[in-house]
Amino acid sequence: EDLLLVVAASSVETSRDRARQFPPRQVVLVTGDRPEIHALAIELGVRCLVVTGGFMPWDSLLQQAATKGVCVITAAQDTASASQLIRFSRPIGAALHGDYLSFGSRTPLREIIHAVQNSHQPLFPVIDEETGRLEGVFSKSDLVEVPR
């Protein structure tokens, strides 16, 4: 499921306008010690409110969040650091592409050199033909002076 990271570091009005651009249940809103933004996130019904800087939302806001189904997470990090951690927490599968060149460990070198010449792929996996396991990777520069 795709979630949208919204950093609410601006005014309440600007933060409201930005958050309203997206379906509320897809929004993860990140902000610091700003009770008015906490209240806004809860009012909008965002998926998750991340309060940074080690601050804790008011008890009354936590009760409202629970009633509205808004998850509240506190983070010791500042807003920028917490946002980076969130961005880097997605599963690796999202960064993978299924369309890539790979080679068996017994593929002749001349075939490999011909196959990679026009490829923009930075690395090429080498797979053991019998086990299907990754043997290693190489780049084009590894093919410049190949030992005989």
Give the helix, strand, coil percentages of the chain, each rounded to 5.
40, 20, 45
- Which residues span the domain enclosing 33? 4-94
pLDDT reported for residue 122: 92
pLDDT reported for residue 26: 96
pLDDT digits (tens, 9 = 90+) for 77-121: 999 999 999 998 877 877 777 889 999 999 999 999 999 999 999
Which of 18, 60, 21, 22 has its CA nearest to residue 42?
60
pLDDT reported for residue 1: 78
pLDDT reported for residue 145: 80
Shared domain check, 133 and 74: no
pTM score, two decimals?
0.66
- Please count the other Cβ atoms lying within 10 Å of the Cβ belonging to residue 22: 16
Mean residue pLDDT across the chain: 93
Token code pair at residue 128: 């053991």
Shared domain check, 34 and 76: yes
Which of 21, 62, 70 has its CA nearest to residue 45?
70
Shared domain check, 82 and 10: yes
Shared domain check, 111 and 38: no
